[in-house]
């Protein structure tokens, strides 16, 4: 049914963005025989933190498989601090620190990160939780962990703790 | 009326804890309890993996002092916790109320103020397409625990315990209502003491 199709299409698009769908729905609601030409603005789908669908060969972790609007429902927070709460300050500084720490970790443990890094701030302390792949020998891992902890605590003048768990391979949730 | 002698446990002083503890800026070294002896260049020894940050610090000044001055009395201590995650607040509320009951503190009421959502509407595209926007929101959930009729030292101990176990991403605001003795000079109305005037002034 043309009517049900148009309503399903409108609902699906409204869920993801704020766009006006009048042109599209008017096209679909017109009589089933005729087809008109319509020109609308480009249907800008959201692209943030979403992997484009492939042929079934792309492996995705649980973190990558769910989109940002699932945060709070089936996803947790990657960076936990209080500055985004109502009446709290320091959001920009914490975000800058987070970005730097993620880049630093990505570079130090090059190729051995299995998943995104989780940052937790408890009081004065910064806890960096990371999942690693067993690419290097444990001795090298321990050295890099100590090196990261020392450097970051000197940079940010606060105790920095690294909590590392290692896996054989990346944990794949699904293939896209 | 305040008791004349109070047994007060002298705990290690925690700066800025009593008036609203939220995320402490990592710049200030002095806030971190137990690290007062450390110079700026030396960072504290690595903590055990499963420890929260209080167990590694030995309390150097944990003497029990007996003072003559009366303890502060609080009519109401309001503990407001904020977080993005409601489940975290549920479990923290269970922890705080259980701790209060174990310590013998009367818990007044535990309620949940309405959540606050801050929404931001931005343009989705870098250039033009004004009709296509994207909305982000930040939700703050609250939980309020009210403790009634509590002494100053009990409040200090309880708050320190509860704050050391604050989960990450949770902020706390503490409001205390203290009770004070009514000053003597306003206990009785002034006109009772004045000598009786014979005639009212004209």
Provide the pLDDT for residue B196.
65
Q: pLDDT confidence of A48, banded at 50, 70, 90? A: confident
Provide the pLDDT for residue B96.
95
Residues present in chain A in total: 176
Contacts of A17 in chain B (CB under 8 A): 124, 132-134
What burial letters (b/e) apply to A44-72, b meaning 16+ CB within 10 Å? beeeeeeeeeeeeeeebbebbbbeeeeee
A161 beta partners: A127
Where do we find the tokens 């609080």?
B74
Contacts of A163 in chain B (CB under 8 A): 49
Q: What DSSP string describes B22-79? A: -PPPTT-STTSTT-TT--TTPPPPPPPTT--TTTTS--TT--EEEESSPPPEEEEEEE
Q: Considering the entire predicted model, what is its pTM?
A: 0.67
Residues B93, B96, B99, B104, CA torsion sign: negative
Return the structure tokens found at B66: 């007996």
B4 close contact with A: CB closer than 8 A: no
Q: Residue A81: pLDDT above 80?
A: yes
Provide the pLDDT for residue A74.
92
Report which of B35, B22, B148, B12 is spatially closest to residue A159, judged by C-alpha positions: B35
Give SS3 for B150: strand
Residue spans of alpha helices (H) in chain B: 86-103, 152-164
Return the structure tokens found at B12: 């290690």
Identify whether the C-beta of residue A114 lies closer than 8 Å to the C-beta of residue A134: no
Smallest Cβ–Cβ distance between B132 and the set A41, A81, A84 belongs to A41
Burial of A18 from C-beta contacts in 10 A (0-12 / 13-18 / 19+): middle
- d(CA A175, CA A56) in angstroms, rounded, equals 5
Residues 125-164 in A contacting B (C-alpha not used; CB under 8 Å): 125-127, 149-150, 153-154, 156-159, 161, 163
Provide the pLDDT for residue B58.
53
Identify whether the C-beta of residue B115 lies closer than 8 Å to the C-beta of residue B139: yes
Residues A150, A151, A154, A158, CA torsion sign: negative
Average pLDDT, chain A: 82
- d(CA B180, CA A41) in angstroms, rounded, equals 68
A70-77 LR contacts (CB < 8 Å, sep 24+): A72/B84, A72/B85, A72/B139, A76/A118, A77/B84, A77/B85, A77/B169
Return per-residue pLDDT of chain B as tens, 202 residues. Answer: 444 444 444 444 443 444 444 444 444 333 334 344 433 334 444 444 444 444 445 555 567 778 888 888 999 999 999 999 999 999 999 999 999 999 999 999 999 999 999 999 999 999 999 999 999 999 999 999 999 999 999 999 999 999 999 999 999 999 999 888 888 888 888 887 777 665 555 5
Residues 34-93 in A contacting B (C-alpha not used; CB under 8 Å): 41-42, 44, 46, 72, 77, 80-88, 90, 93
Q: Residue A2: pLDDT above 80?
A: no
């Amino acid at each position: 049914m043309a009517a049900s199709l148009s309503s399903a299409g409108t609902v699906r698009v409204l869920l993801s963005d704020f766009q006006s769908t009048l042109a599209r729905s008017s096209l679909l609601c017109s009589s089933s025989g005729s087809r008109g030409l319509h020109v609308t603005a480009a249907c800008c789908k959201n692209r943030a933190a979403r992997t484009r669908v492939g042929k079934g060969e792309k492996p995705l972790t649980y973190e990558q498989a769910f989109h940002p609007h699932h945060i709070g429902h089936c996803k947790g927070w990657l960076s936990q601090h209080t500055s985004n709460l109502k009446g709290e300050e320091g959001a920009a500084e914490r975000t800058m620190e987070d970005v730097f720490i993620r880049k630093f970790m990505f570079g130090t443990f090059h190729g051995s990160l299995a998943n995104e890094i989780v940052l937790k701030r408890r009081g004065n302390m910064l806890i960096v939780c990371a999942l690693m792949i067993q690419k290097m020998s444990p001795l090298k891992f321990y050295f890099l962990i100590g090196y990261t902890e020392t450097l970051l605590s000197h940079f940010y003048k606060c105790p920095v703790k690294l909590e590392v768990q290692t896996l054989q391979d990346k944990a794949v949730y699904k293939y896209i | 009326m305040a008791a004349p002698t109070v047994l007060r446990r002298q705990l290690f002083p925690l700066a800025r804890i009593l008036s609203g503890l939220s995320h402490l800026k990592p710049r200030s070294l002095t806030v971190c309890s137990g690290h007062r002896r450390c110079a700026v260049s030396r960072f504290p020894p690595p903590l055990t993996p499963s420890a929260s940050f209080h167990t590694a610090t030995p309390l150097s000044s944990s003497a029990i002092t007996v003072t003559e001055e009366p303890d502060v009395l609080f009519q109401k201590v309001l503990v407001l916790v904020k977080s993005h995650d409601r489940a975290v607040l549920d479990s923290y509320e269970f922890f705080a109320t259980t701790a209060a009951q174990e310590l013998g503190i009367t818990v007044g009421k535990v309620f949940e103020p309405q959540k606050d959502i801050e929404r931001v509407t931005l343009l989705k595209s870098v250039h033009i397409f004004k009709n296509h926007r994207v909305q982000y929101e930040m939700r703050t959930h609250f939980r309020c625990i009210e403790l009634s009729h509590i002494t100053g030292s009990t409040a200090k101990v309880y708050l320190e315990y509860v704050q050391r176990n604050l989960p990450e991403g949770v902020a706390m605001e503490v409001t205390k209502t203290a009770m004070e003795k009514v000053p003597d000079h306003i206990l009785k109305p002034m006109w009772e003491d004045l000598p009786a005037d014979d005639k009212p002034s004209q």
